[in-house]
Structure 1
Amino acid sequence: MTEETAAPMAGAMGVRDAVTVRMPADSAYLSVLRTATAGLAARLDFTLDEIEDLRIGVDEACAMLLSQALPGTDLTTEFELNGDGMRVAVSVLTADGRLPARDTFAWTVLSALAGDVNAHAGPDDRVTIVLHKHRDGVESA
């Protein structure tokens, strides 16, 4: 089951939108997430190449996290849309809170596709990968 919520948020750069997609931590549902990613990126007038990069980047982040997801848990993806691009935070509950290795080919690909990439673990062993993709020609503040 997929749950989506959307809420306008006031940010430093003006109004932005926030969308959360929660679904089972199972690769069978990733096509839904890829479609949501593309739709939201199109709303921000990303180019077709940028949209495809973001779709692949979100898919790669999910693949990294699904390998360590606790069975029966949810994969949560939070999208923040603002004037300069999109921030995507993908998270899942894990057994040990282990962060993805940054010296792997997968992390290099993710960084090349998504722009700014980071990962962190919460106190409940929820591991999150955060991507921030800027539109071409728009500099980050």
Structure 2
Amino acid sequence: MTSTGQDGRRADVELRVPADSAYASVLRTTTAGLAARLDFPIDDIEDLRIAVSEASAMVLPAASEDADLTCQFFMSPGSLTVSVGVEVDAPVDPQYDSFAWTVLATLATDASADTSDGRFTVSVTMAPGQTDGH
């Protein structure tokens, strides 16, 4: 696995934990800390934490046995993109009509799913003040 995102950019921060829902809190806490560092408003930080939880909930059921849950953070002035992904054994069909996807699409400025290269990755971008949900 490389440390680059879908656009080929190197992640500013990458976190790798066992693909188990018990570790989702680590991703949420890291997300909140990085968003705070970028001076996100409290409401947007909480929205991003929820979006990361939903992204984790989407990818974890598809994880290969003994896979890692990888979270990449791409920081830029005014936005934070978080990509949550796992290795998969079989092709995955993202459920765009699921509750989790609805939450992501509402809370994030942008949300996308990628199922290439034996991985299932959900990415969310938050730019404060630019979400559909506010």
- Normalised by the size of structure 2, how large is the TM-score? 0.85
- Counterpart in 2 of 1:113? 107
Partner of 1:72: 66
Are 1:88 and 2:82 an aligned pair? yes
**For residues 115 and 79 of structure 1, do their structure 2 counterparts lie closer, same or farther at Cα, with a shift above 3 Å needed?**
same
Please say which structure displays the higher CA radius of gyration: 1
- Aligned structure 1 segments of 4 or more residues deviating by more than 4 angstroms: none
Note the C-alpha offset of 1:40.
0.3
Asked if the contact 1:41–1:51 (Cα under 8 Å) also holds between the matched residues in 2, the reply is: yes
Partner of 2:119: 126
State the SS of the aligned residue for 1:99.
coil
Instruction: Name the structure with the higher strand share.
Output: 1
Number of aligned residue pairs: give it: 123
Residues 1:42 and 2:21 are matched in the alignment:
no
Is 2:46 the counterpart of 1:52?
yes
Confirm or deny: 8 A CA contact 1:99 1:127 kept in the other structure: no
SS of residue matched to 1:60: helix
Write the distance in 1 (CA, Å) between the matches of 2:77 and 2:24: 26
SS in 1 for 2:24: helix
Question: Any gaps of 5 or more consecutive residues in structure 1?
Answer: 6-10
Identical positions, percent: 48
Q: Which structure 2 residue ranges, 5 or more long, are not aligned?
A: 4-8
For residues 89-132 of structure 1, the C-alpha deviation after alignment (integer angstroms, 9 at most, x for no partner) is 11101121313211222211111112200111122x20111111
Letter paired with 1:32: V
Question: 3-state SS of the aligned residue for 1:28?
Answer: helix
- Aligned position for 2:129: 136
Q: Which deviates further from its counterpart, 64-73 or 96-105?
A: 96-105
SS at match of 1:57: helix
What is the CA RMSD across the aligned residues, in angstroms? 1.9
**Equivalent in the alignment of 1:8:** none
TM (norm. structure 1) is: 0.81
Contact 2:11 2:72 in 1 (8 A): no
